[in-house]
Amino acid sequence: MAKCFPIENSSTVIGIGDDAAVIAPSQENVVTSTKVFMENVHFDLTYVPLCHLGYKMVTVVISDLLGMNAIPTQLTINIGVSNRFDLKAVNELLDGIEACCETAHVDVVGLDLSTSRRDLIVSLTAVGECEPARLVSRKGTAENELICVSGDFAAAYAGLLLLEREKKVFEVNPNMQPDFTGKDYLLRRQLKPEPRLDIVEALRREDILPTAMTNVCDGIAAAIMLICQASDKGCAIFEEKLPMTELAFTTLKDLDIVHTVAALNGGDDYELMFTIKQSDFEKIKNVDNVSIIGYIKEKEAGCHLITGDNCQVEIHAQGFAQK
Amino acid sequence: MAKCFPIENSSTVIGIGDDAAVIAPSQENVVTSTKVFMENVHFDLTYVPLCHLGYKMVTVVISDLLGMNAIPTQLTINIGVSNRFDLKAVNELLDGIEACCETAHVDVVGLDLSTSRRDLIVSLTAVGECEPARLVSRKGTAENELICVSGDFAAAYAGLLLLEREKKVFEVNPNMQPDFTGKDYLLRRQLKPEPRLDIVEALRREDILPTAMTNVCDGIAAAIMLICQASDKGCAIFEEKLPMTELAFTTLKDLDIVHTVAALNGGDDYELMFTIKQSDFEKIKNVDNVSIIGYIKEKEAGCHLITGDNCQVEIHAQGFAQK
């Protein structure tokens, strides 16, 4: 491989080129997560450019570290390719991986290429670090604490629906050119989501320690269920507080999808959900792109969505996968 | 998943069940390696039992940490399965993984299951730790230092040849039962190789610090080339010193394979190669299962095998993969 990855973090001791990567973490706790991405299971190359795919895969794997309030520092890459892919294709994928690593100040410290029978298979392992006092798990929230989420929801799902629709059109008529005018934001949210390192950094800056936290990969419903189950609590989420762009709202309406369902169960958002003490209410206002969407209740109250017309609807996690 | 993995190491802070695994390493350096194993590329389920496969995969991934003189401590597992595999099959695989983790005192701290289209795909990430002063890379050997290897070679390759031969017989006549009488050792070396944690521990006990080190996964030739290239050195390896069992020798002879070629390029041994100072010659005798097979020369001398009849043959790495 001609590709050369720059080393940015002082904690990287040995990168690519030995039996294993060596790290000297500057914090006491080391956090690690691995994701495997398989063609035609996790991604569809008919509409996903390889460089965007690489970028998104890094966002996905480091979001699990951010979901522990940790700072990602290193990444190792394993790629299985068949003869369907030439060196240029592999380099495009690596360029995308490198771009997201640059955004998140993550060093690539391992790269292994092997053969696959047909499909492209990528496995990424992210390593990060955290002061033990700042580490936040899914467990630990208490009654009356505020439920916060970063960013907005349902846009990535709307983007996926548009791409899938155009794919079907293309299959019938290969001469059709897709028209995504004005939908850029939705496509970007689906194809090239950003890792929310800014939120984890802002929480440190504002000295806010969440009481429970998780990466929202499979929709708001799945995420709040993970926190409530781990913490033995219930919750109320307000439908009107779910952050969503006008563009996602109108696009989903055109597609005959209920926007609340898309926000709760759409997935692919890679935003963060965390709970904070009420005493942090003033501080959290200083963190951009965070919305308070509800509060924690006792376990017996269950998990409910409070609709615009003040109905209580029980929340079930219908997102893609329960961890 | 009903499977529950015991936690043995005090460095494991959070295991399975949160966004990411959390480790508090007791040593300054953290070492990590990931391997992806794909059905019909890296393994063949027609003759590999799932529990042996699980065991071997752990040996493969932690051998890369041992090859840095580090102690493996944690493992995360990602499995992609199709509907060809039932829960029993997945559990057999996990049992094998758990058995090797128990042998090597490694905690399983992450488990992700996802869908694959058809083939079984497993990605394992091993994490280990090492005092910086005991960390050994491929680089660092000097002229006249001794080249050591653990265990014996070519047995795993002989085992593979036997299994492949019986597979061909079976394809022609499915009623044929394979006869492996007396070949147990060769099959075990191929199907269920042991991680050489004992060697890394013995080197610590005897206070021997290798000057360069690598995991021998693709044969002795590839391993010595990695060390010589990284260290800018040459070497002489003595054919007569290559450790091999009588069983491997006679089986390879029956199969018309030159045993030296099998030891140099056979692969799948997962033994360790390391170089030591001549002053450690007496100490290394106290470490069981280690053979001195040659010595390091200046770069200009090149890398040679000295045959039994005292000929010099240049060594090329013909093993499966150059890292």
A140 CB near a chain B CB, below 8 Å? no
Whether the per-residue pLDDT at B1 is higher than 80: the answer is no
Q: Report the pLDDT value the prediction gives residue A90, as an integer from 0 to 100.
A: 96
Q: Report the pLDDT value the prediction gives residue A129, as an integer from 0 to 100.
A: 97
Cα torsion at A119, A122, A123, A124 (round to 10°)? -170
**Helix, strand, coil in percent for chain A, rounding step 5:** 35, 25, 40
Query: Taking CB atoms and an 8 Å cutoff, what residues of chain A touch B38?
Result: 80, 114, 116-117, 121
Contact A90, A81 (CB under 8 A): yes
Structure confidence by residue, pLDDT tens digits, B224-253: 999 999 999 999 999 999 999 999 999 999
Query: Taking CB atoms and an 8 Å cutoff, what residues of chain B touch A70?
Result: 20
Whether the per-residue pLDDT at B296 is higher than 90: the answer is yes
Structure confidence by residue, pLDDT tens digits, A6-41: 999 999 999 999 999 999 999 999 999 999 999 999
Residues of chain A with pLDDT under 50: 1-2, 320-323
What is the spatial distance between Cα B159 and Cα B164, in angstroms, rounded to a whole number? 9
Structure confidence by residue, pLDDT tens digits, B63-80: 999 999 999 999 999 999
DSSP string covering B134-166, please? Answer: G---S----TTPEEEEES--SHHHHHHHHHHHH
User: Between chains, do B31 and A40 touch, taking CB under 8 Å as contact?
Assistant: no
Query: Taking CB atoms and an 8 Å cutoff, what residues of chain A touch B135?
Result: 13, 22
Question: Tokens at residue A109, please?
Answer: 């410290």
Q: Report the pLDDT value the prediction gives residue A52, as an integer from 0 to 100.
A: 97
A110 CB near a chain B CB, below 8 Å? yes
In chain A, beta strands by DSSP E: 12-14, 21-23, 29-38, 71-81, 107-115, 121-130, 146-150, 212-216, 233-238, 271-276, 290-298, 303-306, 312-314
Q: Report the pLDDT value the prediction gives residue A317, as an integer from 0 to 100.
A: 66
Q: Pinpoint the alpha helices (H) of B74-213.
A: 87-103, 155-172, 184-191, 197-205
Whether the per-residue pLDDT at B2 is higher than 70: the answer is no
Residues in A 44-73 with any Cβ partner in B closer than 8 A: 64-65, 67-68, 70
Q: Quick one: CA dihedral A308, A313, A314, A317, positive or negative? A: negative
Q: What is the pTM of this model?
A: 0.94
User: Biggest alpha carbon distance in chain B?
Assistant: 61
User: Between chains, do B76 and A110 touch, taking CB under 8 Å as contact?
Assistant: no
Contact A126, A215 (CB under 8 A): no
B110 CB near a chain A CB, below 8 Å? yes
A260 CB near a chain B CB, below 8 Å? no
Q: Report the pLDDT value the prediction gives residue B293, as an integer from 0 to 100.
A: 98
Closest by CA position to A164, among listed A187, A181, A188, A182: A187
Q: Average per-residue pLDDT in chain B?
A: 94
Q: Report the pLDDT value the prediction gives residue B119, as an integer from 0 to 100.
A: 95
| Main-chain phi, psi angles of B292, to 5 degrees | -90, 120
What is the spatial distance between Cα A305 and Cα A239, in angstroms, rounded to a whole number? 6
Angle at which helices B197-205 and B50-66 cross, to 10°: 30
Tell me B19's DSSP state.
S
Report the residue from A20, A64, A230 with minimal CB separation from B33.
Answer: A20
What is the spatial distance between Cα B191 and Cα B186, in angstroms, rounded to a whole number? 9
Confidence grade of residue B322 (pLDDT, cut at 50, 70, 90): very low
Q: Report the pLDDT value the prediction gives residue A321, as an integer from 0 to 100.
A: 41
* Whole-complex ipTM: 0.92
Question: Tokens at residue A132, please?
Answer: 């033990």
CA angle at A246 for the pair A241 and A252, rounded to the nearest 5°: 95
Residue A101: exposure state from Cβ atoms within 10 A (0-12, 13-18, ≥19): buried
Q: Report the pLDDT value the prediction gives residue B177, as an integer from 0 to 100.
A: 82
